[in-house]
Amino acid sequence: MKKHNFYAGPAILPKSVMQEAAAACVDFNGSGLSVLEISHRSADFGAVMEEAEALVRELLGLGDEFAVLFLTGGASSQFFMSAMNLLASDAKAAFVNTGRWSDKAIVEAGQFGTVEVIASSEDKNYAYIPKDLAIPADATYLHITSNNTVTGTQYHSFPVTGKPLVADMSSDIFSRPLDMSRFGMIYAGAQKNLGPAGTTLVILRKDLLGKTERAIPTMLDYNTHIKKASMFNTPPAFPIYVAMLNMRWIKANGGVEAMAKRNAAKAALLYDAIEASPNFHCPIAKEDRSVMNAVFMPTDESRTAEFIEKAAEAGCIGVKGHRSVGGFRASMYNAMDIASVQALVDVMNAF
């Protein structure tokens, strides 16, 4: 039976990417060595790093003003690393709180400067994205979480800031085109929509650095990694290699523009089924519903386990909602085919 992987992460990858990565684990580029064991200083792996960066730049339309880094520590490390590098101790950062991950970023940034939460959707259990933001004139930057995997909300248009926009895009990077002139920095843990866990993509405007007047540990200083092209120390070679293969797949399948259409079709199919069913409902404001992570609830909570069992019987796994929210969650990243969403909808219709 085909398995339809709706887990939020580590998440689905294209089958062709996994097959190529698996082959490279045995013999990489005919070298007789595994991609897991080749030197990160070798010409073969240097070519991987160069192509990975080039694909990020091509897919997102990045200019030379942006640095592209492949780091470690996940997005959780970027919660503090971004503030450490961008926010002076006597300065202020503005934040929008849309759930679990932005809440964690707020706590970490507060260790390095003043944090002002200018808007929050906590009053309605994070079921919407706050609009009409009043950004303080003295804010260094505005931080948002573009897609919220736990609560199922997503920015479908980004705030006009007048300030550099810093975005945690862990779960919707490469899912749609971006106007990069709007952003000062984007960071994304790979394990949602880019590649396997182990590397973190950081894209930032180089002119934002060097203004905090604080001593930054070498490994936590973005300039360290810019100067060494993400190779200051041994990088997470295999996750970067698989992320490169995945970006090749995105490019070969029409780029982020095609991904946006593909993802919109999947989300429409599922949300329409939720709306049409007497057994489910979506608590999220319609205009803010995530294309990546659809959160929905049972009309009768006593049947939650029954539905999860029926879904599993049909090969639909990972539909249990986050423990802090309950209900159900279907994560539909780039690599998921619409046929998998249809399989889940068929279970819903038969339930």
Positions annotated as catalytic residues are 101, 168, 192
Expressed in angstroms, the distance from the first to the final Cα of the chain is 20
Map the chain to HEC letters.
CCCEECCCCCCCCCHHHHHHHHHHHHCCCCCCCCCCCCCCCCHHHHHHHHHHHHHHHHHHCCCCCEEEEEECCHHHHHHHHHHHHHCCCCCEEEEEECCHHHHHHHHHHCCCCEEEEEEECHHHCCCCCCCCCCCCCCEEEEEEECEECCCCEECCCCCCCCCCEEEECCCCCCCCCCCHHHEEEEEEECCCCCCCCCCEEEEEEHHHCCCCCCCCCHHHCHHHHHHCCCCCCCCCHHHHHHHHHHHHHHHHCCHHHHHHHHHHHHHHHHHHHHHHCCCEECCCCHHHECCCEEEEEECCHHHHHHHHHHHHHCCEECCECCCCCCCEEEECCCCCCHHHHHHHHHHHHHC
